[in-house]
Amino acid sequence: EADIYQTPRYLVIGTGKKITLECSQTMGHDKMYWYQQDPGMELHLIHYSYGVNSTEKGDLSSESTVSRIRTEHFPLTLESARPSHTSQYLCASSPTGTTREKTQYFGPGTRLLVL
């Protein structure tokens, strides 16, 4: 079982609030990812990191930002939440080495509802 954690699991918040979704992994993986998933839809990559102080935007445009100060921690921040940000956010990590041969390990997700 993968050791990757996300908090909070569920969050209901008002428009305009700043929120941070936490993601931590204890496997020492260098690579970490954030995906956004709407109900019944595909996962879309919004941010990824290949190591400390490395962050990149994914395919889906997102108003969120991320940071990678420690290997095990990859938080995602929304400065001003809007109803359009309502979604499920999934964090994942993968081991060092060629991604061709290795899977990604996923956290349980955070379900965000912005009122």
Partner 1 sequence: KQEVTQIPAALSVPEGENLVLNCSFTDSAIYNLQWFRQDPGKGLTSLLLIQSSQREQTSGRLNASLDKSSGRSTLYIAASQPGDSATYLCAVYGNKLVFGAGTILRVKS
Does residue 13 bind partner 1 (CB under 8 A)?
Answer: no
Give the interface size with partner 1 as a residue count (CB under 8 A): 26
Residue among 75, 77, 80 nearest 22 (CA)? 75
* Residues in region 14-73 near partner 1 by CB under 8 A: 33, 40-45, 48, 58-59
Three-state SS sequence of 50-75:
EECCEEEECCCCCCCEECCCECCECC
Does residue 104 bind partner 1 (CB under 8 A)?
Answer: yes
* Residues in region 74-93 near partner 1 by CB under 8 A: 90, 92
Contact residues for partner 1, defined by CB under 8 A: 2, 4, 6, 9, 33, 40-45, 48, 58-59, 90, 92, 99-101, 103-109
